[in-house]
Structure 1
Amino acid sequence: MGPPEREKTIYRIAEARRKDRQDVGGVGIIEDENGNILTEKEEVKRRWKEYFSQLLNTENEYGELENVPPVEEPTANMRESEVENAKKRGKVNKAAGKSEVTIEMIKALGNLGGCTHYWERFGM
């Protein structure tokens, strides 16, 4: 599989993941502040506006944060052999982690752009 085919595979996987995350039709009903169900489009919009206006315009008291150490430290650069071993061990058809990058995407990239480039870019 050459670079153009790999690129097409990456885009195909990314498009499928995007479609999976889309809302089907949105929310057509909501309850008002008294628990009555609203179904009319304008009433639903008005209620959402009221809800978010109240939610986002409420003052909350926050205490000052003390000196907090960093959660993560910078990672060392990976060797190409480590990347290749990880690609071989990676199982296909598994859910993506925090980075939302699947092993299929990484394998489809091959050595395109250098191995450490795309691993660092996706936080892996």
Structure 2
Amino acid sequence: MNGKSTSQPMSVKSKEGNMLTVKDQVKDRWRAHFCELLNRPAPARRYHPSQQMWEQLDIDTSESSEEEVEKAINKLKNNKSAGTDSVTAELIKCGGQPTRARFHSLLLKIWQEEQMKKRVRTLRGIEDGWKLSDLDFADDVALIEPDEEKSAAALTRLRGAGEEVGLVVSAEKTKVMPIGETSACVKDGESTTDKVEKFNYLGSTVTPINSIDTELNIRTGIAANAFKNLRNTWRAKISLKIKMRIYTAVVIPTLLYASETWATTRKHEQRLDAFDSRCLRIMNYSEDQMVGTKAQQ
């Protein structure tokens, strides 16, 4: 959709950091990389799972009320595919008070039989009413600790647990970010972990003050690049309806990636509206069509 594709030359960095572009050299570098990565010696220690001790917090874990069930049902999103039971969110909402009462009764039964507690414990690092100490996704781990001493101890435990299953924690990629007035001189063995003012986790930029200014700058830049790559589509003689469907499927998700976690202000919303309006003008939308489009979004 965005014109002719251009082939990019294969390139990779050597261990010394030099760029390799010759085809045979690139193949040899990848071969050496995977040989080193996959042919590791067996762990010196075997992993033996033990019960983790958690710091108990004062959190209400009592039975849910019918009002909480009602709030949860109202938050269900419409126009979503049904699950294996073929029951959509719209159908549940239309059920009214009788449906809420049945759901509440069912939840109480599950809670009393402690089936729900067993499901909650499958979430890594969480138990009922206990402290969240880490966020794990694939090979990315974010440790959450209150001070330097506990952070260093957690990093040591993580490194030891990794060694037991043949995994290595990269010292070069390990960073520490202080939140608030907390200092961040965390020791990793004999060396000190690098301190950063922000870091990227699962595609989102995390900052100490939970501001989305930096994240919004990044998202608008990536979305603008995605919009620019489709410039031939915007100039093509196709209907505005098709252009809008492409825009909604490609550019908007890029712009609003992970926006569910954003704490936006009016200023942020105005920036997003300005970006949207600028793109719609390039797509030859009139002012009246833009107002109608924003009302639908």
TM-score interval, normalised by the smaller of the two chains: 0.3 to 0.5
TM-score, normalization by structure 2 = 0.18
TM-score, normalization by structure 1 = 0.36
The structure where strand makes up a greater share of residues is 2
Higher relative contact order (CA 8 A, sep 6+): 1
Larger radius of gyration: 2
